[in-house]
């Protein structure tokens, strides 16, 4: 939201939408119009105007169903269902979010095949797992994040580090913490950190690596190992301070963790 950029983007996209409606007609479905609805929805999400975002994503979905057919699976329709799911998460309506993400997954499986790995299917498993976490249904969340990890490994390779694999390991670690299985959480967080160091570089500070260090620190606290926790928190704080694009609040939270541990 720096320098009012999202507000400027919203204004320009509204102008673009008005022009598309003038060109193609207000009552006619067209891909350019649905794309404008999509883009506006995403900008309103960034502006935290979630009701407006919901309206735009619903308009986009409605138009795509007219364009592609109500009974024909299409990647663009699945994308709109995902967008709606994310907005419902933001609005706190987790049941609606789950419904939209499950509809999206069903459509992606129909498009790409049930036995074929695809990044969009892996992403849907991740989305559904995250919603189950928010619903405090941790066993179901664990299942979905495991499916996401397995698919990401099949796509990118078991021996090739990739941010999507690291993200799945991160999510699994988080669910294991919720389930109280701290050793499994530690294992997944350590694998995640190792992969991020390979992806981003061992000597290059990165917010994602700092976040993994914090996650490990919190697990060590719960395991009753404050010395290990302090080491991770201090490394994470040092990394954040070396990163040029830091937010002050991000550093302050780390300093708070180190102070509590010391």
In a domain, 47, yes or no: yes
In a domain, 4, yes or no: yes
161: three-class secondary structure by DSSP:
coil
Range of the domain at 88: 1-93
Going by pLDDT thresholds of 50, 70 and 90, the confidence category of residue 3 is very low
In a domain, 167, yes or no: no
Q: Report how far residue 199's alpha carbon sits from residue 70's, in angstroms, rounded to the nearest whole number.
A: 41
In a domain, 46, yes or no: yes
Question: Does the pLDDT of residue 17 top 90, yes or no?
Answer: no
In a domain, 119, yes or no: no
Q: What is the pLDDT of residues 199-229, one digit of tens each?
A: 999 888 999 999 999 999 999 999 999 999 9
The structure tokens listed for 107 are 């459509």
Question: Does the pLDDT of residue 108 top 60, yes or no?
Answer: yes
CA triplet 48, 53, 55: central angle to 5 degrees?
145
Question: Does the pLDDT of residue 26 top 90, yes or no?
Answer: no
Q: What is the pLDDT of residues 129-187, one digit of tens each?
A: 999 999 999 999 999 999 999 999 999 999 899 999 999 999 999 999 999 999 999 99
In a domain, 50, yes or no: yes
Which CATH number covers residue 57? Answer: 1.25.40.10
User: How many domains are there within the chain?
Assistant: 1
DSSP 201: -
The structure tokens listed for 115 are 């036995």
In a domain, 245, yes or no: no
Q: Name the residue with higher pLDDT: 95 or 10.
A: 95
Q: Report how far residue 142's alpha carbon sits from residue 129's, in angstroms, rounded to the nearest whole number.
A: 7
Q: Report how far residue 6's alpha carbon sits from residue 44's, in angstroms, rounded to the nearest whole number.
A: 8
- Inter-residue contact 179 to 138 (CB < 8 Å): yes
Cα dihedral 85→90→96→99 (10° resolution): 30
Mean pLDDT in residue range 38-61: 96
In a domain, 68, yes or no: yes
Helix (H) or strand (E) holding 46: helix 31-46
Do you know the residue count of the chain? 262
262: three-class secondary structure by DSSP:
coil
Residue 245's pLDDT is 53
Residue 30's pLDDT is 93
- Inter-residue contact 161 to 198 (CB < 8 Å): yes
Residue 28's pLDDT is 87
């Amino acid at each position: 939201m720096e320098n009012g950029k999202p507000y400027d983007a919203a204004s320009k996209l509204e102008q673009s939408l008005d022009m598309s409606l003038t060109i193609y007609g207000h009552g006619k479905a067209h891909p350019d119009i649905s794309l404008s609805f999509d883009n506006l929805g995403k900008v309103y999400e960034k502006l935290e105007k979630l009701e407006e975002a919901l309206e735009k994503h619903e308009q986009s979905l409605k138009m795509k169903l007219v364009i592609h057919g109500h009974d024909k699976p299409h990647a663009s329709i699945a994308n709109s269902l995902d967008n709606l799911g994310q907005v419902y998460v933001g609005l706190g309506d987790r049941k609606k979010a789950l419904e939209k993400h499950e509809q999206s997954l069903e459509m992606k499986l129909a498009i790409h095949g049930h036995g074929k790995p695809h990044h969009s299917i892996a992403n849907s498993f991740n989305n559904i797992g995250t919603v189950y976490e928010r619903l405090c249904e941790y066993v179901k969340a664990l299942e979905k994040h495991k499916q996401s990890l397995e698919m990401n490994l099949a796509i990118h390779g078991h021996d090739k580090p990739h941010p999507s694999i690291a993200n799945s390991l991160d999510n699994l670690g988080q669910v294991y913490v919720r389930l109280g299985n701290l050793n499994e959480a530690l294992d997944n967080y350590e694998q995640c950190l190792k992969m991020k160091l390979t992806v981003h570089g061992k000597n290059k500070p990165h917010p994602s690596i700092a976040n993994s260090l914090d996650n490990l620190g919190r697990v060590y606290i719960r395991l009753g190992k404050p010395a290990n926790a302090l080491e991770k928190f201090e490394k994470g704080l040092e990394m954040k301070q070396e990163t040029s694009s830091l937010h002050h609040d991000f550093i302050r939270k780390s300093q708070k963790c180190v102070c509590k541990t010391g």
